[in-house]
Structure 1
Amino acid sequence: MSDKFTLDKRLAAESVFAAALPLCDVRLMREQRWFWLLLVPRVKGAAEIFDLSAAQRAQSMEEINFAAKGLQRAAPCDKINIGALGNIVRQLHIHIIARIKGDAGWPGPVWGRGARQDLPPAGQAARLTAIQAALAAGVGGDMGPKLSNLLP
């Protein structure tokens, strides 16, 4: 068995790589109804936040804050939802979702709200460009200059 981190197949199928932060990969969900990011810590076997070391937990909180502020800038919204459920996909991943009053699930959660709507390629490209630009600008902290070297 490998000691290398591997992304869960379901997360890979439902999202696309956007950026690499020091601990987490930032992934864009392929869901048209919401501008939705996943942060996935590159820590083998992590299923819960408490599976991370103290330093990793602190770093993950900084990266959640950084990505959420970047998302808010890339997708002006009324609320940012942040959550780590893991009931279906056990691999630790944090959802960061831009919510707008009157969206497909407002004011409830996004889960269980109708059938998934695939994000078309043009929409995916536009959202990737927007979030990468917001993150590279250093929105929410000083990670921007480090991040600009990690963007695809």
Structure 2
Amino acid sequence: MAFDPQSPSELDRSRAHAIVWFGSACALLTFANLFVGMNNMLVVLAYGGAAGGMLHAALSRSTDEHVARLCTTGWRTMGAGLGIYLVAAFIMANGQLANSAGYWLSSGTMPPSRQLVSDPGLQEPMVLAVLLTKLFYAGFAFAWLRDRFGADE
């Protein structure tokens, strides 16, 4: 096998794992902050760490195939979560639209509320961002656990 100078070294591979796991811990802090509501420098650093881990997973070329496969599972989990979120928003908006149409047919005027999705939790972009970030890291951890403790090949 020929030497490839662009191949990641052992230090690069360990660093890639450490950065993604650090981002996972930061994402756990940001998820807990949704319920606690702290507003300090630790939370700001946790947001940065969670974003940094995901950006490193997406843009880094210093990883091997194993880390790339773990990240792919994380991205797929995050995409599935986004799809479920959009289906839930569609169902809620469709129900709200049906209520508006029924209101209009019965009274001849539009209802006072023009908001399509009535759940404020579905409209909060930071909640969605934190949940999608957590889904990425959960998918990464699931793939890591499956490789570590899964069925023998």
Instruction: Pick the TM interval, shorter chain.
Output: under 0.3
| Structure with bigger gyration radius | 2
Higher strand share: 1
Q: Relative contact order (alpha carbons < 8 A, sep ≥ 6): 1 or 2 greater?
A: 2
Greater helix content:
2
Q: TM-score, normalised by structure 2?
A: 0.27
